[in-house]
Amino acid sequence: MKFDVIDTQPKEILLADYAAYPFAIDTIALTFKLSPAETIVTSKLSCRRLGQASTVLELNGGPYMSLLSLHMDGVLLEAEKDYDLSEEHLRVYNAPKSFELTVVTSINPQENTRLEGLYLSSGNFCTQCEAEGFRHITYYPDRPDVLSVFSVRIEALMEDYPVLLSNGNPAGAGEIAGGYHYAIWNDPHPKPAYLFALVAGNLACLTDKFHTSLGRDVTLNIYTLEKDQAKCDYAMGALKRSMQWDEETYGLAYDLDVYNIVAVSDFNMGAMENKGLNVFNTKYVLASPDTETDTDFAHVEGVIGHEYFHNWTGNRVTCRDWFQLSLKEGLTVYRDQEFSSDMGSRVIKRIDDVKALRAAQFPEDAGPFAHPVRPEKYIEINNFYTATVYNKGAEVIRMMATIIGQAAFRKGMDLYFERHDGSAVTCEDFVQAMEDASGFDLRQFRLWYSQAGTPEIKVDVKKGQGSKTILSVSQTVPSTPGQDMKKPMVIPIVMGFATEHGDCLSAQGLSSNIRPLGNGSFLLMMTQGADEFTFEGVEPTAVPSLLRGFSAPVEMETTLSELQQYFILNFDTDSFNRVEMSDLLLKKEVYKIAEQIEASQTKTVSNKLIKSLGQCLEAYERDPALISSILSMPSENDCISSMKRLSIDAVFEARQFLGKKIAHRLRKSLQSVYLSSRSAAKSLSLKGDKQAVHFRRLQNVCLSYMAKTGGHAENRLIVDQFQDSTTMTNKLAALQALVHSSIGKRKQLIRHFYKAYRKDELVVDKWFAAQALSTHENVHSEIALLQNHRDFSYTNPNRIRSLIGMFTMGNLSAFHRRCGKGYEILANAILKLDDINPQVAARMLTPLGRYHKLDKERQVLIGKQLKRILAKEGLSKPVYEMASKAYE
């Protein structure tokens, strides 16, 4: 592709170009003299040339820092003669075999709105160095395969910054003249620079302790602004559960005397696993029932776990280069998902994770941003912290565990740590450990790391001679940017035969590509373009229940009849597949109605579908969370990602129509289940029973349907819930219902919510987000008003995500309005953000790459906005990469 607007195309970094760093940096001693407008950083590196390597020491740097001085073994170096300085590098010439280099730089944290490197949040200093932020603090080999032992001395005004933190263990503190004080931190574990962290400020602290299985007493601290201290208990509990779980599940114990967590309001991502000093977005630490929802609590537990688990999968064993990002992220997501499953309901966790995968990763894999789990090139690595690397990466790990079995997987993990503790390795090293520990041949399986695209499988169920059942399965992997031809993948398909009285246990005579799993389920190992799986002795009425637990991240089509599909919905022992089936049946119904719309026919809704949903609803008591998932409407995003040929206008209209119809036809049951789950939730929560969460989930799914009726009684219940609820879960669900409604007091109540919570940033985020999801006709002007609200800000990523992110990724029918205003709103925001925070600006561009299901007119409108973005003078590298890929 060519652009007259960009004269120098940013350079692509290639995996194929990897070369080891020619020097070792054995230790680095850092001193920070902190001040908001000018912080002075002194870095002493002990360097060693490796072998006969080059005598030029090349360090990374950036445009936001000034070099004050450079000494080698105490001798001042001279520019041009001894070293060269460019915008991105410092090259030191004539490096001897070993030497000490002292680099002094000056930086301005106060002006750092990019939120990478050292910056200020609520007046406190903090850092974000992954992936390449350390180079904005000092000149250094800022790459994950250079590991060094860090020691840090921090100096700052005592009154403004009483708390001084860095990685590792505390090693001294004291006062210095002029109202200053200092603290020293030593981290004995060699680490790459991306794991460096520093925090200084006025922070309150919640303290606890944990005794490890190796006999170490660890102090646990969670630092926040004083006002947020009361909301940290849940996170602290989650941290202790994580520590315990990793010891029990993988035999992995913590390895320092302190574990510090700091929560900040201004953060580009979710959280960061810096060694011994995690820095978190407040969103993933603070949790109190009156201001955070049940979903927020689940996220806090998951992210606390995630960052803790990185201590082994990421820190003790790290990545050789950034192409290997999934080595730590895919594996750590898998670990946090397993942790959450063990702490709560496994099947509900799986349902929610698969939903998230479909919402974010499937569309990514199907569009211009598609890339393999292990990418082969990038312009800006921050653009590759994606659902593919994280969530599909986790699915790849899960498939390996399914294929080799849990016991072998654990052996593989042990071997991985035995071989690689303390080093920077590749995805290949991980698979090799799994292969060696299990004896399985994973050669073909490795394609999951190199081939992008979501495989599509078709399952044809046939009855053979006698009692033979044959499943013919074929696969295709769609082409993706830069990858036209694909090879067949290894696809593990877990399945069983559902009957009215449980799984059919009489299957035998299995073909050699089938492995019984012992619980009524089988593992079908697909390895070719087309495979056949044969069984004998299956009960004639049994229905194949396929891809149980979503055993592989694929799109599946089957030849199951509608009768059989309803059978799975009603009788499968695998609850996950019951939810899958209701989702499929609901989507099919949406498409049928959309076709009627396109053909200008009368819209009809299947009685059978309504009746089945009604029956599920009536039987809610046994598993309210499951029923809530069975009942949930597929999202707009889901509906358009799996649609074929139809127009999005018809699909959105059909979806709305179906939702309303369900609400009206099941009106009585919805109201009565609403009332009984509401009271069940209330009484359980008084008893401190965790089941309350499941009843609240059902209660609020009912509420969202009830809102669609616009009925008087329903509106009354919405307003009551809004006014009476004591939990944010219920309050927010009512707010969301209110936003869409035409209830008279609507505006007034929304304003009331703001007034009540305006001091709580995270709740104000929810207030913005709820309105960004509005289905009202004038939503575009509502968004414009909100962008001018005094609490809206382009410098706070959470706020951007709440308003712009929600509108463009969660409210597709409003975003994709024919007028193109939605695209314009987004492009304007990206152009503004590009100067403030390019990393977040690039992330916001995602929806502009999801046009493959849109009509020509909309594609043209999106193209126009992409062109505008690309024409911006001085466009940042991250936004350039995303916009140019989307523009194709």
**Cα(609)–Cα(197) distance, integer angstroms:** 54
329 vs 589, beta carbon nearer Zn ion: 329
Choices 124-132, 521-529, 632-640, 657-665 (CB under 6 A): range interacting with ligand ARG:
124-132
Active site residue: 301, 307, 338, 761, which one?
307
Choices 16-24, 211-219, 268-276, 592-600 (CB under 6 A): range interacting with ligand ARG:
268-276
Structural contact between residues 141 and 60, judged by C-beta atoms closer than 8 angstroms: yes
| DSSP annotation of 138 | S
Which of 361, 382, 628, 629 binds ligand ARG (CB under 6 A)? It is 382
**Full 3-state SS string of 590-627:** HHHHHHHHHCCCCCCCCHHHHHHHHHHHHCHHHCHHHH
Outline where DSSP puts E strands in 159-265: 163-166, 169-176, 180-191, 198-201, 204-211, 217-224, 258-264
194 vs 576, beta carbon nearer ligand ARG: 194
Which of 142, 266, 273, 636 binds ligand ARG (CB under 6 A)? It is 273
* Window 790 to 829, contacts with ligand ARG (CB under 6 A): none
Choices 53-61, 326-334, 641-649, 692-700 (CB under 5 A): range interacting with Zn ion:
326-334
187 vs 329, beta carbon nearer Zn ion: 329
**Cα(310)–Cα(144) distance, integer angstroms:** 14
Which of 268, 293, 469, 725 binds ligand ARG (CB under 6 A)? It is 268
Q: How far is the CB of 326 from Zn ion (least distance, A)?
A: 10
Q: How far is the CB of 629 from ligand ARG (least distance, A)?
A: 26
Q: How far is the CB of 888 from ligand ARG (least distance, A)?
A: 25
* Window 635 to 664, contacts with Zn ion (CB under 5 A): none
Q: How far is the CB of 278 from ligand ARG (least distance, A)?
A: 9
Q: Total residues at the site for ligand ARG (CB under 6 A)?
A: 14
Burial of 498 (C-beta count, 10 Å sphere; 0-12/13-18/19+):
buried
Which of 210, 385, 448, 757 binds ligand ARG (CB under 6 A)? It is 385
Nearest Cα neighbor of 242 from 228, 260, 254 is 254
DSSP β-ladder status, 148-157 and 23-33: parallel
- Residue 110 has phi, psi (to 5 degrees) of -65, -30
**Count of helix runs (H) and strand runs (E) in the chain:** 30, 33
Structural contact between residues 52 and 23, judged by C-beta atoms closer than 8 angstroms: no
Scored b (16 or more CB within 10 A) or e, 413-446 reads bebbbeebeeebbbbebbbbbbbebbebebeebb
Choose from Zn ion, ligand ARG, none: what does 643 bind? Cβ within 5-8 Å by kind. none
DSSP β-ladder status, 148-157 and 180-191: antiparallel
Nearest Cα neighbor of 144 from 15, 278, 325 is 325
Choose from Zn ion, ligand ARG, none: what does 760 bind? Cβ within 5-8 Å by kind. none
60 vs 685, beta carbon nearer ligand ARG: 60
Residue 285 lies near ligand ARG (rule: CB under 6 A): no
* Residue written as token pair 């040339």: 49
Choose from ligand ARG, Zn ion, none: what does 130 bind? Cβ within 5-8 Å by kind. ligand ARG
128 vs 332, beta carbon nearer Zn ion: 332
Q: How far is the CB of 309 from ligand ARG (least distance, A)?
A: 9
Choose from Zn ion, ligand ARG, none: what does 151 bind? Cβ within 5-8 Å by kind. none
Scored b (16 or more CB within 10 A) or e, 311-325 reads bbbbbbbbbbbbbbb
Q: H helices within 421-519, ranges in order?
A: 427-438, 447-450
Binding track, positions 297-336, relative to ligand ARG; x by CB under 6 A? ---------xx---------------------x-------
Q: How far is the CB of 324 from ligand ARG (least distance, A)?
A: 13
Which of 104, 130, 282, 491 binds ligand ARG (CB under 6 A)? It is 130
130 vs 761, beta carbon nearer Zn ion: 130
Choose from ligand ARG, Zn ion, none: what does 796 bind? Cβ within 5-8 Å by kind. none
SS3 269: coil
336 vs 765, beta carbon nearer ligand ARG: 336
**Cα(129)–Cα(318) distance, integer angstroms:** 15
**Cα(291)–Cα(283) distance, integer angstroms:** 11
271 vs 546, beta carbon nearer ligand ARG: 271
Choose from Zn ion, ligand ARG, none: what does 767 bind? Cβ within 5-8 Å by kind. none
Q: How far is the CB of 303 from ligand ARG (least distance, A)?
A: 8
Burial of 726 (C-beta count, 10 Å sphere; 0-12/13-18/19+):
exposed
Burial of 863 (C-beta count, 10 Å sphere; 0-12/13-18/19+):
middle
273 vs 760, beta carbon nearer ligand ARG: 273
**Cα(238)–Cα(827) distance, integer angstroms:** 39
Choices 127-135, 154-162, 217-225, 682-690 (CB under 6 A): range interacting with ligand ARG:
127-135
H or E stretch at 726: none
| DSSP annotation of 489 | P
**Upper half-sphere CA count for residue 774 (Cβ side, 13 Å):** 23
Quickly count: other Cβ atoms within 10 Å of residue 292's Cβ.
24
Choose from Zn ion, ligand ARG, none: what does 469 bind? Cβ within 5-8 Å by kind. none
Nearest Cα neighbor of 676 from 706, 696, 704 is 696
Choices 128-136, 627-635, 689-697, 789-797 (CB under 6 A): range interacting with ligand ARG:
128-136
| DSSP annotation of 786 | H
Residue 763 lies near ligand ARG (rule: CB under 6 A): no
**Cα(718)–Cα(709) distance, integer angstroms:** 12
Q: How far is the CB of 131 from Zn ion (least distance, A)?
A: 11
Which of 271, 279, 569, 809 binds ligand ARG (CB under 6 A)? It is 271
Structural contact between residues 776 and 742, judged by C-beta atoms closer than 8 angstroms: no
Choose from Zn ion, ligand ARG, none: what does 272 bind? Cβ within 5-8 Å by kind. ligand ARG
Q: How far is the CB of 309 from Zn ion (least distance, A)?
A: 8
Quickly count: other Cβ atoms within 10 Å of residue 679's Cβ.
12
Choose from Zn ion, ligand ARG, none: what does 282 bind? Cβ within 5-8 Å by kind. none
Binding track, positions 283-322, relative to Zn ion; x by CB under 5 A? ----------------------------------------
Choose from ligand ARG, Zn ion, none: what does 265 bind? Cβ within 5-8 Å by kind. none
Choices 293-301, 323-331, 534-542, 874-882 (CB under 5 A): range interacting with Zn ion:
323-331
260 vs 345, beta carbon nearer ligand ARG: 260
Choices 263-271, 636-644, 652-660, 744-752 (CB under 6 A): range interacting with ligand ARG:
263-271
Nearest Cα neighbor of 337 from 326, 324, 348 is 348
Choices 264-272, 287-295, 686-694, 825-833 (CB under 6 A): range interacting with ligand ARG:
264-272
* Window 80 to 99, contacts with ligand ARG (CB under 6 A): none
Structural contact between residues 662 and 654, judged by C-beta atoms closer than 8 angstroms: no
Known active-site residue 307:
yes
Q: How far is the CB of 268 from ligand ARG (least distance, A)?
A: 5
Residue 131 lies near ligand ARG (rule: CB under 6 A): yes
Chain residues in the site for ligand ARG (CB under 6 A): 128, 130-131, 268-269, 271-273, 306-307, 329, 382, 385, 839
Residues with catalytic roles: 307
Chain residues in the site for Zn ion (CB under 5 A): 329, 332
